[in-house]
């Protein structure tokens, strides 16, 4: 996971996603495992794109960027190394800000050892070709401590723009 400055709108969207998914405001028990805002990088920001093309584009305003995926059956894959230390039997949450609709997009985690696990997504009904919406999902995982996520994979049946990808979990204790 890389660390860099985030845009104001990206931060607000991420906080909104945390509030919407968890039912309470972000607090010390929410651990961000992976965050991509497509700012401060070039090319495809380290994402490998297959089955189509990917490029950084301006999104909401000229200073805000996202990864535009074009083509049919496009895959964007980002190698990561996220060790899960203490989230056995916990919910793993994802939030994507995108022009994609949930019906046309999937997010998968590739685990050390090669196993792939999809996280179901739903949308707020606003994701359209010219309007950004938040896609969100959660999945209870039963991985042993020390399990490692090796890649985040996003697949889309048609082109769209990804503006923010956030993977997090609640470490317990509530808000």
* pLDDT digits 0-9 by tens, 11-70: 434 434 443 443 344 455 668 889 999 999 999 999 999 999 999 999 887 888 999 999
| pTM, full prediction | 0.77
Residue 5 DSSP symbol: -
Write down the pLDDT at residue 23.
39
**Torsions phi, psi of 102, nearest 5?**
-55, -30
**CATH fold of 8-170:** Jelly Rolls (2.60.120)
Q: Is residue 1 scored above 70 in pLDDT?
A: no
Q: Please state, in angstroms and rounded to a whole number, the distance separating the CA atoms of residues 128 and 103.
A: 12
CA dihedral 46, 37, 40, 34 (to 10 degrees): -60
Q: Which residue has the higher pLDDT, 166 or 124?
A: 166
Q: Is residue 120 scored above 90 in pLDDT?
A: no
In sign, the C-alpha dihedral spanning 95, 97, 98, 101 is positive
As given in the structure block, the two tokens for residue 85 are: 């230390």
Q: Is residue 171 scored above 70 in pLDDT?
A: no
Q: What is the mean pLDDT of the chain?
A: 77
pLDDT band for position 140 (cuts 50, 70, 90): confident
């Amino acid at each position: 996971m890389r660390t860099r400055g985030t845009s104001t709108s990206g931060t607000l969207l991420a906080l909104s996603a945390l509030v919407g998914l968890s039912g309470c405001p972000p607090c010390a028990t929410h651990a961000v495992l992976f965050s991509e805002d497509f700012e401060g990088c070039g090319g495809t920001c380290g994402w490998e794109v297959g089955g189509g093309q990917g490029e950084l584009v301006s999104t909401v305003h000229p200073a805000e960027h996202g990864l535009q995926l074009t083509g049919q059956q496009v895959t964007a894959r980002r190698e990561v190394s996220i060790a899960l230390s203490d989230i056995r039997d916990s919910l793993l949450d994802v939030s994507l800000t995108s022009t994609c609709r949930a019906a046309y997009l999937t997010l998968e985690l590739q685990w050390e050892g090669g196993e792939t696990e999809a996280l179901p997504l739903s949308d707020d009904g606003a994701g359209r070709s010219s309007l950004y919406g938040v896609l969100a999902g959660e999945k209870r995982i039963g991985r042993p401590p020390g399990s490692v996520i090796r890649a985040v994979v996003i697949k889309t049946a048609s082109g769209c723009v990804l503006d923010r990808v956030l993977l997090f979990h609640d470490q317990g204790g509530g808000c």
